[in-house]
Chain A
Amino acid sequence: MTRRKLFGDLCWGLPALAAMQLLAGGRVTPHHRPRARRVLQIFCPGGASHLDLWDYKPELEKRSGQPMPGVEKEVSFQGANGALMRSPWKFVRRGQCGKYITELLPHLGELADELAFVHSMTSRSNTHGPACVMMNTGFAVEGFPSAGAWVSYALGSENENLPAFVAIPDVRGIPPSGPANWTAGFLPAEHQGIAFHAAEPIRNLARPAGVSEAEDEAARVFLEQLNETHAARHPGAGDLRARMAAYALAARMQLSAPEVADLGAESEATHRLYGARDANPLLAAYARNCLLARRLLERGVRYVQLFCASRASGVDGLLNWDAHKTLQADYERHAPILDQPTAGLLRDLKARGLLQDTLVLWTTEFGRMPTHQEGTLGRDHNPDAFTVWMAGAGIRGGVSYGATDDFGRRAVDGVATIHDFWATVLDVLGLDHGRLTWYHNGLNRRLTDVHGHVLRPILA
C-alpha cells in the first residue's frame, strides 16, 4: 500500500514525515496535470535496428542488392558500406491499426494497438558509449543526470522503503558506458539509479556474513542511542536528524527489497506469461527481470530502467543488438529474448490496471544502415534514423509519428531528437521540460539541454 493512498495528497506535508521528505520527497510541483505517475523504460543497447524490427520499407525490399541511390561510397562508423540489404524477415500487419511489424516479434506485434511509434528519431553520436549516454541523459558526454534521476528529483518516491529509481541491467552484463546510464550526474546522489536484477540483490543490503540478527539489532540500537545523545547536544542540526532517518529507512529497505525481489510469490501462470520458465536461460533471465520491474512499479518505484542485452564484446553483436556482421544470427538470438517477456510485462501491467498511470518507453541508442557493411551480412551504426515507441498512460496507441526516407537511411518527416523524446516524457509526467532545471557549473541544466519540443501527436 503506498503512502499516497493512505494519507492522500497532503501526506508529503505531514510534520512527522519531514525528515523522510528530505530523503524521498519530490522537489518540484507538477507544472500541469500529470497523466502518468511512473515510468518503465526498456533499453536495448547496441543500436537495435529500426529496419529489422519496426520500420517497414517496401522500397528496401524491392531494391535489395542494388546500390543506394545517390550515394557513391558511404563510410560510416566501421567503414565502407555495400549495397542495400533487405531485412531477412517479413513484415506483417498487426493489430486493428494494421501496423507492419517484423515477424521476429510475434508477441509484441499483438500489442500493436497499444504502441505509439516514433520513426524519425535521430542521435548526435554514432558510437555506442556516447550514444547510450546521449539517449539516457540528453548529452553525449558523461556526467549528466540520467532521465530517471531527473524524474526522481522532480517527483520523488512513492514508497519510502524502496529507491525512487531502479536500473535493472541484463544478466549478460551492463550496457555501454555502464553506470553513466543511470547516474545522478550532478544531481544529489540520492537520485542515482540503484542497480540490481533478479539474480543479483542490491549491494550491501544483506546483513553481513558472520553477524547474527541479534548482534545486528543490538549494534543498531546502540548506534541510535549514540546519535540521539549527539543530536541532543547539537540542536538545530537538521542533517544529523536526516542521517538518523536514513538509517531507519535503510533498515526498512532491508526488509522490503528482498520481498520485492522474491518472485516466488508470483503464480505459475504469471511466470509462464513472461516466459520465466523458458528453456532459453537468457530469455528466462530477462523475463524474471521484467517480472521484477512490474513488482517495483507496483510498489511505487518511480522510474524503472530495464535493459535487454548488454555491452560491446570482443565480437560485435554477441552480447547486444550491434549486428555488424551476422544480422540474421544475431537477431534470431536477441529478438526472442525481448519479445515474449516484454509483451508479457505490458499485458500484466494492463491487467493490473497499472498501465493507466505508467508510461512505458522502448528505446535504443541509434538505428542501423539500410545497406550491408562491405564484406558482411550485417548493418553499421546509423544515428540519422531510429525508432522508439511509447505506450501506456497518456499515450495514443496504434499511431506512428514521423518517417524515414524510402530506405530508412535518414529521418525526413517530423525529424525528432532525443530532447524531443524526453520533453514528451516529462510532459506526460506533468512537467515542463524547460522548467525542470538544476544549476551546475554556470548553467541551469536540463534533461533537454536547450532544445526539445513535445511530440503532441502521440499523446492521448
Chain B
Amino acid sequence: MRYVFLLAWPMALVLAEDLERQATAMLAKQCVNCHNSSSRMGGLVLETRESALRGGFSGPALTPGDAGRSLLAARVAKGEMPPGNPLPADARRLLARWVESGASWTGRLLPAARKRAGKDWWSLQPLRRVDPEIPADAPASWTVSPIDRYLLAAMRERGLSPSPPAAKRTLARRVTYDLTGLPPTPEELDAFLRDDAPDAYERLVDRLLASPAYGERWARHWMDVIRFGESHGYEQNHLRPNAWPFRDYLIRSFNAGKPFDRMILEHLAGDVIAGGDPDVEVGVGFLVAGVHDTVGNQAEAPRRQQRADDLDDMIAAAGSAFLGLTVHCARCHDHKFDPIEQRDYYRMAAIFNGVVHGERELAAAAEKERHAAAREPWERALREVRERLAAIREAARPEVAAQREAILAAYRPPVSDRFTEERFAAVRAKWIRLRITGTPNNSPAAIDEMEVWEGSRNVALASAGARVSASSERRADDDPEAYAARHLIDGRFDRRWFAASGGPVEITIELAAPALVDRVSWSRDREGGFQGKFAGPPVTGYVVEASADGRAWRPVASAEGRLPYSPAEREALVLRAVLPEAQRREWETLEARRAELEDRLAKFPKLPVAYIGRAEQPREPVYLLKGGNVMDRAGVVTPASLSAFSFARFSLEEEQPEGERRVALARWLTDARNPLTPRVLANRIWHYHFGRGIVGTPSDFGFQGEAPSHPALLDYLALRLLAHGWRLKPLHREILLSQAYRQSSAFDEGKARVDAEARLLWRYPPQRLSAEAIRDAILAVSGALDRRMGGPGFHLFRYTVDNVATYYPLERFGPETFRRAVYQTAARSVRSELLGQYDCPDSSLPEPKRSVTTSPLQALALFNNSFVIEQAELLAGRLRKEAGADPARQVDWAFVLAFGRPAEPGERAAAAALVERHGLAAFCRALFNANEFIYVM
C-alpha cells in the first residue's frame, strides 16, 4: 500500500530519506528472514550495507549506483526473489531507484517477525538436562520418576493435577496392547490381577518387552515412519516378492533390542559393514523401501526425472526418519522455513548416488563361497566346451563363407513375425487348423491376423461368415476380450490373439462354406507396430491341416524345409553342412554337451535374494538442479553433512567409494554431538506410548513443526536414550513405569476446560486401536490367530498382472490370512478394506503419525465384511467349546476374551436374549464392533 501511495507522488518529490526508509523497510520485511546472520541463505546476510556489499555465494549483492549489476535488485526485478512470492512492479522499481541513487543505508536490519528457523532453532541446540522443580504438595508417587516430575511441574503451571492410578484390569489391557498389539489372554490377565506383589506391574512390563510380539508391534510403527512397502507403486505397481526379508530383519532387530545407532548404520550402509553377514546386509533395504517407477521411458528428461525421484525418495525418508527434518523441501530452492540450503539437498543426493533399486543375493559369505564352488566345475566345463566350439567354427570360417549362399538357397525363407505364408495344392475344405508346435523359448504364441485364401479371396474373415476358436487364450481379468481368438479373423491388425502360455496350441477356423483353399497366411505384427516391450518372436513350429468335416484332418503344409528363425541356428546349419564327417560328429557332441551344461547351470539352486537395492560407484556425479529441473544442471555437488550443523561435519570427494559416503552419514547422524537424532527417536517412542508426541509432528522438528509441549522432558528422554546406549527397551520401561502412564484415563470436566486434549497428561489419553491391532485382536479373540513369525507375507488381495498390476479385494479369507497383520503384503496404494479404513497407511509416503478417523465406511467394513462374519462364527465355536452350552456362561467368557471383564447383569441378559433368538455368531459380530473392543482406556 505504501508503495502505491509513494508512486502517486511526482517522483522528484520523494526525498532521499524517504527512499532509504522505504527500501530498507522492504528489505527487512521481504529479505532478512532468510538472509540474516543466523540463516545465511545462499551465504548472504542483508542486515547491514557492509554485509550486502560483501555478498554471498553468488558474489556481492549490492553495487551502489548500478541496479543492473546489483544482484539484490536484479533478482527481485526478475521475480526470482523472494522465491515463490515475487514483489509487485512498483516495489521492484522502488528498490532499483534506491540502488541507483547510491543505496544509502544506515543501521542494522532485523527480521520483522520470526518467519523461519535459523541455525539457532531449538531442535538443533545441544541436549541439556534441566531438572524440574518438585512442587511442595506433589503426590509422593509422582516424585520418584523424573518423567513424572517434569510432567507435574508443567501441570502445576496451568493449575492441573494428575489422575489417580488406573484400575489394574485397565492398565494390563493398555500396556499389553501398547507393547504387543494384542489383547491380554484371560490367563495373563487373571495372573496379573491375582499378583499382589509390589513389582507385579514391573514384571508384567518386562514379560511383554521380552515377548516376540513386541517386535511385531514396534517394527510396524517403524515401517510407517520409513514408508516400507512391498510393491513398486506408480503405474505398473508390480509386487516385490522378495521385500519381506527386510520386514523380518526389523522385527528381529526390535526383539533383540538392537541399539538404534547400530540400526541406523545398518539401514544406511548394512551392505558396506556386513562383513559377509546377511542379517546385517539386509538392513540397507531401508534405502529402497519406497516407491520406484518401473515404466521404461525413452525420452531423456523423464529418464533423469525417474532417477531424481528415486533419490528424492531416499533423501525424504532418511531426512524425516532420522533427523525429523524436511530436507526434501529443499529440492527446488533453499528451504523456506528451515536452515537447509538447496545445496544440502544435493549433498545428500550425492551420498545416495550409488544406490539403485533392485534385488541382491542375500547369503552368508560362506554360503556364497560354497555356492560358487559348487558351480565352478560346471562353469569350467562349459567354458571349455565353448572354447572348443569356437575353435571349430573359426577353422571352418573360409569354407562357411564360400558355401554359405549355396547351402541356404536349398531352404525356404524363415518364418517372420511380420508375415508367414504357406502355399499348397488346392484342397477343398470347410475347416482349416493351425497346429502350433513351437515358439522360441517356449513363449506364448501371438497372432494378429490369420488368412485362408481361395484364390485372392480371404475366406477366413468373420465378416465372410467364418468362425474361429483357439485351444488356449490369454485372459485379462478386467477385459476378457483383450486377447480373444476373434481378433484372428477380424480383418484388422490392431488386436492380437495370445495363447495363455507356451506349449502346443491349435487355432481352428470354420469357413462359412467349403472352399478351394490353396494358401494360408498369418503374422504376429503385420504392420510393425508392436515394438519394444510388445515385440516378440513368430511361431516357428506348425502344421497346417485341412478338413472337410471337422473330424478327419489332412496336413497340407508345415514349417518343414524353412530356414531356422534364429540367426545362430542358421549359422549352425551352414557349419554342419561344411564340416567333414568326423568334425561334424565332434561338433554335434559338443553342442549337446553345451546345452546340457547350460541347462544344468540354469537349474542350479539359486541363492536367496532380497529387495534391498544394489550399490555401485556412481558413473555420474550429482549436479545441483536449478529449480529442481533435471535438465537445468548447475555445478557438481559432492557428499557432505548438512550445513546448519556445526559439529562433526564431513565432506567427501567424488572419488571416494560410495559406501563410505553412507557410512559417514550414519556416523554423523549418531555422533554424540548430534542432538536431533536422539530427540526425534525419543519423541517417536513417547508418541506411540501416549498417542501423541512431546513434539506433535514426529518427523518435523523444524519451523513448521509443533513446538515441544515439554522441552526439558524431551531432552531428558533423549539423554536417557544415549545413556542406555541407544537401546529402546530400557527407555520403554522407564516410560511405562511412570505414574503418568499408569494413571487413569477418567474424564474431568474442569481439567478438560484447561486442557481438553490432555496434552499435559493430567489423564492417560484414551486410544483407538490401530488397524492392525483391530484385525489381530479379532483373530486372537476368535482363537484363529496364527502366530507363525517371519517369511513371505500373506495377501489380502487377488493379484493379476497384464502389463500393470491390478489388485482385487478378497471375498473370502482363508487360514493363510489369519497371521498378524504386520505380515500382510503391503502393496502400495492398495488399502485393504478393514486395514485401510482404519487408517493403515498405503506406504506411498512416510506416515510418522497416523490419523485416527471415524467414518461410516469403517462401520460397514467391520459390520459387514465377510472376514468379521467368519471370525464371529469361529468365536462362537470357541465359546461353545470353552464355555459349554449355557448362554450366560458363553456370554461371560466372550466378554472376558473381548473386553477383559465379565458382563454386567444387564449386558448378560440382553446378550443372552440375542444369543437365544439369533445364535451366538450374531452376538460375536456385535462384540467385534463394540467401542469397548477397539478403544483402550
Contacts and interface: CB of A to CB of B under 8 A. Distances in A.
A1 to B, nearest CB: 20
Contacts of A439: 697, 704
Contact of A79 (B492, B531, B844, B906): B531
B515 interface: no
Given A23-B855, A243-B931, A441-B700, A142 B291 contact: yes
A142 B829 contact: yes
B329 A443 contact: yes
Contacts of B830: 178-179
B482 A313 contact: yes
A98 B702 CA distance: 56
B142 interface: no
Interface in B454-478: 474, 476, 478
A229 B804 contact: no
Given A239-B768, A312-B804, A319-B479, A211 B869 contact: yes
B138 interface: no
B310 to A, nearest CB: 11
B856 A142 contact: no
Contacts of B534: 314-316
Interface stretch (A6-14, A371-379, A391-399, A418-426): A371-379
B833 A442 contact: no
Interface size range of chain B in the complex: 35 or more
Contact of B844 (A141, A172, A189, A211): A141
Interface string A241-261: 011101101100110000000
Interface stretch (B150-158, B173-181, B814-822, B920-928): B920-928
A227 B931 contact: yes
Nearest to B855: A190
A105 interface: no
A441 B848 contact: yes
Interface string B778-808: 0000000000000000000000001110110
Nearest to B831: A179
B847 to A, nearest CB: 8
Interface stretch (A52-60, A126-134, A341-349, A401-409): A126-134
Interface in A186-238: 186, 188-190, 192, 194, 202-212, 214-215, 218-220, 222-223, 225-227, 229-231, 234-237
A42 B655 CA distance: 52
Interface stretch (B419-427, B637-645, B716-724, B860-868): B860-868
Contacts of B674: none
Interface stretch (B59-67, B232-240, B350-358, B563-571): B232-240
B856 A375 contact: no
B854 A239 contact: yes
Interface in A84-143: 125-130, 132, 140-143
B806 A311 contact: yes
B302 interface: yes
B844 A142 contact: yes
B846 to A, nearest CB: 7
Contact of B854 (A186, A206, A246, A324): A246
Given A163-B857, A329-B494, A378 B529 contact: yes
B235 A141 contact: no
Nearest to A330: B494
Contact of B237 (A177, A188, A441): A177
Interface string B190-210: 000000000000000000000
B299 interface: yes
B508 interface: no
Contact of A127 (B293, B496, B839, B857): B293
B326 A442 contact: yes
A312 B235 CA distance: 9
A298 to B, nearest CB: 20
Given A172-B478, A250-B856, A316-B534, A125 B918 contact: no
A230 B931 contact: yes
A227 to B, nearest CB: 5
Contact of A313 (B337, B476, B752, B833): B476
A174 interface: yes
Contacts of B847: 186
A180 B857 contact: no
Q: Report which residue of A204, A254, A325, A378 has the largest number of chain B beta carbons within 10 angstroms of its beta carbon.
A: A204
Contact of A376 (B337, B527, B804, B851): B527
Contacts of B842: 143, 183
B619 to A, nearest CB: 21
B752 A236 contact: yes
Contacts of B342: none
A242 B745 CA distance: 19
Given A250-B856, A250-B860, A174 B806 contact: yes
Contact of B704 (A126, A253, A444): A444
B853 A188 contact: yes
Interface string B896-937: 000000001011001100100111001101110111100101
A78 B482 contact: no
B267 to A, nearest CB: 19
Contact of B857 (A250, A316, A317): A250
Contact of B804 (A176, A186, A234, A242): A176
Contacts of A22: 854
Contacts of B482: 313-315, 318-319
A314 B803 contact: yes
Contacts of A188: 851, 853
A173 interface: yes
A351 interface: no
Nearest to A450: B84
Contacts of A234: 745, 747, 766, 937
Nearest to A180: B829
A253 B295 contact: no
Given A204-B865, A236-B752, A315-B534, A173 B478 contact: yes
Contacts of B530: 315, 325
A203 B320 CA distance: 36
Nearest to B84: A450
B809 to A, nearest CB: 7
A125 B302 contact: yes
A364 interface: no
B747 A229 contact: no
B236 A129 contact: yes
B321 to A, nearest CB: 11
Given A318-B482, A375-B529, A223 B929 contact: yes
A92 to B, nearest CB: 26
A75 interface: yes
B855 to A, nearest CB: 4
B309 interface: yes
B790 to A, nearest CB: 28
B501 interface: no
Contacts of B374: none
A240 interface: yes
B859 interface: yes
Contacts of A210: 869
B597 interface: no
Interface of B: 84, 233-237, 291, 293, 295, 297-300, 302, 305, 309, 320, 325-326, 329, 337-338, 474, 476, 478-479, 482-483, 492-496, 498, 527-532, 534, 697, 699-700, 702, 704-705, 745, 747-749, 752, 766, 768, 802-804, 806-807, 809, 828-831, 833, 836-837, 839, 842, 844-848, 851-861, 863-866, 869, 904, 906-907, 910-911, 914, 917-919, 922-923, 925-927, 929-932, 935, 937
Closest 3 CB pairs of A and B: A129-B235, A442-B326, A236-B747
17 contacts: A79-B531, A127-B295, A127-B297, A129-B295, A177-B829, A178-B237, A214-B918, A225-B910, A229-B907, A237-B747, A240-B931, A313-B802, A314-B482, A314-B534, A318-B482, A319-B478, A325-B529
Given A226-B907, A236-B752, 17 more contacts: A130-B293, A176-B804, A186-B851, A190-B854, A192-B857, A204-B863, A218-B917, A226-B926, A226-B930, A226-B932, A229-B906, A242-B854, A247-B856, A247-B859, A310-B478, A330-B494, A443-B704
